[in-house]
Structure 1
């Protein structure tokens, strides 16, 4: 949730780099006499910004990606992470960017979080050379957490509840202008319920009109679903830990309109998260706990490209892999990443605190 998470999460500790994601070592797959290939792994890239924590990350391709983080920082690479260009919006140094959605290597929309006017949206069409502020929140009780796009034109952003319901912001022109949607189709929020601005994945889409919203902080961790671009919503409970402002579903990933993953738990390092992942096969109407969940809190999740069963989840204490659609997870690294994303060409990226960014090497 925006307020609580923003205040506390910056104190959590970091880690190292991802190791193999295959059940058998690379050597076992190589013919005799041939040099063994390295197993798939995260290859760290130097962002040049060790003071920044990156929670916004859209993977454009193996070559191109954007990063958004603390101190109003936005970075962009077009050479696979060999170099990063600082394309931060001028005058944004006091803002906390938590989500960025990209429509290629040159067009992107970035969301800053916070109470009142701290919640803002900026858009660029020239790779960050220039930015236009397209939304500034004027509601004192609104706090925007995440945004997601259905296509290059239609997108949504979500705020923590205002007057007892989550507030939805809508764009039909690629983020150039925004309108607050009526809340008549939004079910009432539970007591203490909010979203988590942890990885830019508390609001996700699949297809032309379906969108899901992850929540926490209340007695139950829920996932809300809309099939009409945010006009009407239904809510479903999940088995992810809840009952505390620090617990809930932090991130979602859907590979199509039916199959989705939810990860979360309790982000405090001294608290356990016994059931940090769940899955759905019916579009989020029902959620089943993972048979073997990640061992701790996870803040980001993504399906591996062109796979019906493989996905990665990342968090403060490690990275986990599932190869059976979220039924079982196994830890493949103990390093710290906050967010993870994959592009359609197979390029997968992860990012987190202390300027950490890495690309998946196979």
Structure 2
């Protein structure tokens, strides 16, 4: 009891304080909050209201009593379900008092469906067991094939999850055959039937990848995928497995044992198949890249051809120039030879003329004669002769023998 409350209990005190209602409610609120730590309470939901502010207001009741509750927006945004009238829930709360009306109430920090505590405990226990055995180890996981030839699906034949998977597979890669291994995914005995379907797929070995899926739901709805028998069947399956159970926030033992976890059944179908649109897009990109590379090579070769052509043209031009030079040199040589020949001919003509002038025969034709002694020497003076010498007289035409009879000096 607080000192202030003790003072209030002193009867007959002349100094007793008279409280206002606000003060009374504040004192009561403080006492309640200090006396009750955070605790769990269970009950049935009634009068549930979601205010415009986002806060939840409801009552929890059992057969003998009820209590008002408030759960503020900042806390209820972390809850994955919205309580409904008649739901059995467990609330983690503190006791307080709403001063404005003097209402005793609980401020709720967290809620879960009744009985989840035991389910979570069983979940964690099995998770620790299988993890210790190595069933979750990354090094034993199989890679999902990029281009499967056939895909298997373990789920309920009339489930919305199956329709989502088939629609996605048809959209992404319609040419891949799909084999369905139908099984109930909820209700009593469903875990054994799910395990049987997985074992059947394993024994037939007719698929390259196996999708194990069902739609979202409460932890109770998904509990069949938290059973050990299902986990063992997945671990024993030699086909690469994809777990697509529930929604993105749902986790099951199946997710940890499978080779790959998908957030939803649709996501599982996307992981199991390549995208036809992506393949076509990549093919077009490769086509464009190939065309670009080919054009680049053609441009390079064309440039090289142009270079060689220029080199061919250049020698051709050089040959033509050299040919012109040869022609010019030939012409010059011919001209030079012709000029030289003309000069030689002129010189020859001149020499011939001179020779004609100097030719004694020509002189002789004009009535002259030359004298030769017996030795054939020309006699140019009379002193070379003696009386009685025999000489030969050569005329312009013919010759004669003569004897010297008289010499004049």
Give the TM-score normalised by structure 1.
0.20
- Going by fraction, where is strand more abundant, 1 or 2? 1
Determine which structure has the larger helix proportion and give its number: 2
Q: TM-score, normalised by structure 2?
A: 0.18
Pick the structure with greater CA Rg: 2
